[in-house]
């Protein structure tokens, strides 16, 4: 499910870091939106030591030329879902 207005979606996009990650690790994924290439970058900012601890991560979206389009920090807590968002405003 994608909550972006106008039915916009990112094909082959990702929003949440599944699997085994290390604090400070960054991974890049290639996708497209409206037929235009996009790059998604996920970085783990903070991992807890216990399974029930929160995870803080950064999500960035770039256009095909490498220009930053979106930059957000999310905090996920088991049992609460995504409960904190820091939406960094990107100058146009």
Q: How far apart are CA 72 and CA 50, in angstroms?
A: 24
Q: Looking at the whole model, is its pTM more than 0.85?
A: no
Q: Going residue by residue through the chain, which has 92 residues, state the pLDDT in tens, using 9 for 90 and above.
A: 455 566 667 777 777 778 889 999 999 999 888 889 999 999 999 998 888 899 999 999 999 999 999 999 999 998 888 888 888 888 77
Residue 53 CB contacts under 8 Å (≥ 6 apart), including other chains: 47
């Amino acid at each position: 499910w994608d909550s972006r207005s106008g039915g916009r979606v990112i094909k082959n996009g990702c929003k949440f870091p599944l699997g085994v990650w290390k604090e400070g690790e960054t991974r890049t994924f290639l996708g497209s939106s409206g037929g235009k290439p996009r790059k998604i970058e996920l970085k783990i900012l903070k991992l807890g030591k216990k399974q029930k601890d929160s995870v803080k991560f950064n999500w960035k979206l770039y256009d095909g030329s490498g220009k930053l389009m979106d930059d957000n920090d999310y905090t996920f807590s088991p049992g609460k879902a995504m409960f904190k968002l820091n939406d960094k405003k990107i100058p146009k």
